[in-house]
Amino acid sequence: MAQIRIENLRKSFGEFVAVQSSSFTIGDGEFFVMLGPSGCGKTTTLRMIAGLELPTGGKILLDGEEVTFQRAAQRDIAFVFQLFALYPHMNVRRNIGFPLLCQGTPRRQIRARVEETARLLRIDQLLDRPVSGLSGGDRQRVALGRAIVRRPKAFLMDEPLGALDSEFRDLMIHELRSLHDRIHATTVYVTHDQLEAMAMADKIVVMNHGVVEQFGTPQAIYDHPASLFVADFIGSPSMNLLRFEGALEPGQRQVRIGEASLAIPTVSEALSRQELVLGARPEHIRLSDDAPLRGEVYGTEYLGTQQIVTVTTELGRVKARIGAAQPVAAGDRVGLAFLTERLSLFDGVSGRALATHGVEEAVHG
């Protein structure tokens, strides 16, 4: 398996810049997710790693060896286009062994490798069955087996679960992650779905308009988004973003938003009066009668253990995620209390996250 290093990678198509000078490292054995909306450059980056697209500038290193302009076939990387197409006339064994057969691997070796792969995927009892009679989950496992039987240095996957319905997708997310935990193959996975990214990734790179917005662990990106774009893109419902005018100075611990004075994490940089944004995740807001920011409940969404309460305030709609046992109904007047140390502050003009005590480590792209 392999480490993949991306250095100042750029790609333009004529006038259009698809990827702007990106740098990051995919660690050996990591499950690495490139996340962003369509057109953000994630698929182009993946295709450059695969060798299907040549960069306009920058370097790609596979285990320290430069492969930037090497042909795809020379890179020993498996690109999983479609996880779900099987050869219907072949049994499970022949489906899984097919890539090795194409490479001219000796038959005895194919047999051993196919059986080992099937054990890894826990489908060894199905090896001599036709694929037509298999359950959906087993078909996916066979397709995965066909991808991993070659033991490439890395797997590249481009939205492999995009076409599945939600229940089946959840199942496959766990399947893919637990397979990764068993074989530890370096995996680069492209998706626009933040839930897939959060559920599977060791590391995430968030891209937007060809630019790396943030690079880090799912938890770090969730807790300390480096920009307004990341704050809004990750999380469901997304982070509440309250816009206000104000100035900041180091050591400050309060801001005035409309009529309310709110405690914030200790500020560690200075900013003259301008547009600022306070970011609060729904689970970091509580309903409290004596809180300074007040509003009227617009609607509640029951989710069993929890509920999401949408409150109309002078600063716009705010969503709070609270326990389902708490009685609250549309039309109620409520106060909103924030978990101070979990709040984020952003420069409303550039979108950049502002340094506060404890979150200087937020990585900018």
Partner 1 sequence: MAEVVLQGLIKRFGDTEAVRDVSLTVADGSMVVLLGPTGAGKTTLLRLVAGLEMPDAGTLSIGGRDMTGEPPAARDVSFVFQQYSLYPHLSVRDNLAFPLRSPARRLPPAQVVRRVEEIAELLRIAHKLDNRATQLSGGEMQRVAIGRALVREPAIYLMDEPLSSLDARLRADLRLELKRIQQDLGATILYVTHDQVEAMTMASRIGVLAEGKLVQFGTPREIYEDPVDAYVATRLGIPRINLLPVGLLPSPDAPPGTALVGARTEHLRIHPRDGRPASVTRVEHLGDQTHLHLLLDEQPIVVLADAHTPIRQGERVGLALDAPLFFDADGHRLRQCAPATA
Dist CA 188 CA 31 (whole Å): 6
If DSSP codes are grouped into helix, strand and coil, which group holds residue 232? helix
Q: Smaller CB distance to partner 1: residue 22 or 313?
A: 313
Q: How far is the CB of 296 from partner 1 (least distance, A)?
A: 13
Q: Which residues bind to partner 1, rule: CB under 8 A?
A: 165-167, 193-195, 197-199, 218-219, 222, 234-238, 281, 283, 298-299, 301-306, 308, 310, 324, 330, 342
The set of residues, in sequence order, having a beta carbon less than 8 Å from that of 174 and lying 6+ positions away, is 199
Contact status, residue 205 vs residue 33, Cβ threshold 8 Å: yes
Give how far Cα 11 sits from Cα of 8, 38, 66, 72, 275, Å: 10, 16, 17, 17, 34
Judged by beta carbon, residue 82 or residue 236, the one nearer partner 1 is: 236
Write down the least CB distance from residue 199 to partner 1, Å: 6
**Distance of alpha carbon 360 from alpha carbon 363, whole angstroms:** 8
Task: Judge whether 26 and 203 are in contact, CB under 8 Å.
Answer: yes
Integer Cα distance of 46 and 65 in angstroms: 18
Minimum distance between the CB of residue 169 and partner 1, rounded to whole angstroms?
12
- DSSP class of 140: H
Pairing of strands 333-338, 293-302: antiparallel
Nearer to partner 1, 179 or 248 (CB): 179
Contact criterion met (CB below 8 Å) for 191 and 233? no
C-beta closer to partner 1: residue 98 or 298: 298
Shortest Å distance, C-beta 184 to partner 1:
15
Calpha distance 229→261 (Å, rounded):
26
**Which residue lies nearer to partner 1 by CB, 102 or 325?**
325
Instruction: With beta carbons less than 8 A apart as the criterion, state whether 253 and 263 touch.
Output: yes
Nearer to partner 1, 57 or 299 (CB): 299
Of 159 and 283, CB closest to partner 1: 283
For residue 224, give the DSSP letter. Answer: S
Q: How far is the CB of 203 from partner 1 (least distance, A)?
A: 13
55 is written with which tokens?
Answer: 């960069």
**CB of residue 140 vs partner 1: minimum separation in angstroms?**
17
Residue 323: CB minimum distance to partner 1, A: 9
Nearer to partner 1, 237 or 246 (CB): 237
| End-to-end Cα spacing for the chain | 27
Contact 170, 136 (CB under 8 A): no
Among candidate residues 74, 94, 77, 96, the one with its CA nearest the CA of residue 145: 96
In angstroms, give the least distance from the CB of 302 to partner 1. Answer: 5
> Minimum distance from CB of 136 to partner 1 (Å)?
12
Q: Whose Cβ is closer to partner 1: residue 12's or residue 238's?
A: 238
